[in-house]
Structure 1
């Protein structure tokens, strides 16, 4: 799948992994719509990308993934502006074990809301062109992080959601591939503020730091390279791609195809 001329929407696009996603998609020829609650950072990134090649291929829209109304409005504006949607990166996420309900609202419910809103424009059943949805999960969704049980639970849930959606798409004909990207610890603001976000599990901070020292930390650009693989390789559907400083591998799950006989 070539990205030239494709339309990609990235949530949590203004910084960290989302920024790296936006940059790599843009530099490979896609039109990129940046969704974020940080308007200043979002507009700055939009202007920087558009300045790179002198074309207006990047667009920033203020959007909170907790709001179904804002998501639907953002996707409609995207479709009206660029003619459709081909790629969705469900990337917005937080880590906050103290405010665990907010973590669930953004990391899980926000992903579901965003995916369903995108289906209205992407699904071939609705007149869309199909495409691919990649959700930023985490290695913690496969190997739970001891100090972050709610964060781990949300990331495990979005892996399951992505795989179920992949199976549903294959059966009913959405024409959309669904994959999950599962990085290990990544050098972002989320990681930098980890100690303040562990709530009652602050007592496990040292154990978490030891894991970081043992396994290392990824850069956002390394994660973005893996996103490119999941987006462009049309054989990838229902996959969970794990990436760490030691390399990458696909998680071994049973087939997503349900025996309907």
Structure 2
């Protein structure tokens, strides 16, 4: 898939990994709808992107992925402004083992909601032109991080949901590919939550174990992860894949086949 003229939607788009994913899409010629709850940062990023890529390349839309109404409205505004999306990246996520229901709501339910609502615009069976959905999971979606078990569960859910949707799309003729991006530790603000007792809650005593894991795996830069994301978007042979991204390299995960 060549990205020039393609239309992308990214959630959690204005900081950290979401910002990096949005930027690499712009660098390769796509138009990007930036969805995020942070209106101040969103408008600031939109201004910065306008200067670099032109004012007609991005659209900032305040959107809480927990809200069906806000998500629907954001996608509708995207369609009205740019046209039907070709690329959807469900990236919004948090670490919060204390308010674990909110973590599930954003990390997993937000991904399901974003996928289903985007299907209404992308599905070839309902007038769409197909495309690709990349859901941001984590290495915690492939193996446990003991200090953040709810985060681990949500990311396992994202991987499973993505793979099931890939098979469903293939069998149903939706014309949409689905892939999961599973990075190790990335140098972004979300890392700080792993050191914060209010976020880790009852697992605060395992923070040192998390630090040792970080030392073992190293710290990825956003740009490194964004390059692997681009591969999942552009390589049309990739469907139902979970791409593990580490400092030492990237590998597609092999799962047992059930179908």
Displacement after TM superposition at 1:81 (Å) = 0.8
Structure 1 runs of 4+ aligned residues shifted over 4 Å read: none
Structure 2 unaligned residues grouped into runs of 5+: none
Distance of 1:155 and 1:237 partners within structure 2: 18
Question: Equivalent residue for 1:63?
Answer: 63
Q: TM-score, normalised by structure 2?
A: 0.97
Question: Equivalent residue for 2:184?
Answer: 184
Whether the aligned pair in 1 keeps the contact of 2:26 and 2:53 (CA below 8 Å) is no
SS of alignment partner, residue 198 of structure 1: helix
Displacement after TM superposition at 1:47 (Å) = 1.4
Is structure 2 residue 34 aligned with structure 1 residue 40? no
Given the alignment, which residue of 233, 236, 246 partners 1:234? 236
Question: Equivalent residue for 2:29?
Answer: 29
Deviation sequence 1:137-160 (CA, Å, 0-9, x none): 000110110111100000000100
Q: CA RMSD in A?
A: 0.9
Whether the aligned pair in 1 keeps the contact of 2:7 and 2:85 (CA below 8 Å) is yes
Is structure 2 residue 142 aligned with structure 1 residue 170? no
Question: Equivalent residue for 2:158?
Answer: 158
Structure 1 unaligned residues grouped into runs of 5+: none
Displacement after TM superposition at 1:53 (Å) = 3.2
Distance of 2:219 and 2:53 partners within structure 1: 32
Whether the aligned pair in 1 keeps the contact of 2:124 and 2:130 (CA below 8 Å) is yes
Distance of 1:126 and 1:55 partners within structure 2: 31
Deviation sequence 1:46-68 (CA, Å, 0-9, x none): 11112113341111000000001
Question: Equivalent residue for 2:107?
Answer: 107
Q: TM-score, normalised by structure 1?
A: 0.97
Distance of 1:4 and 1:173 partners within structure 2: 25
Question: Equivalent residue for 2:194?
Answer: 194
Deviation sequence 1:100-140 (CA, Å, 0-9, x none): 11100000001000100000000001100100000000001
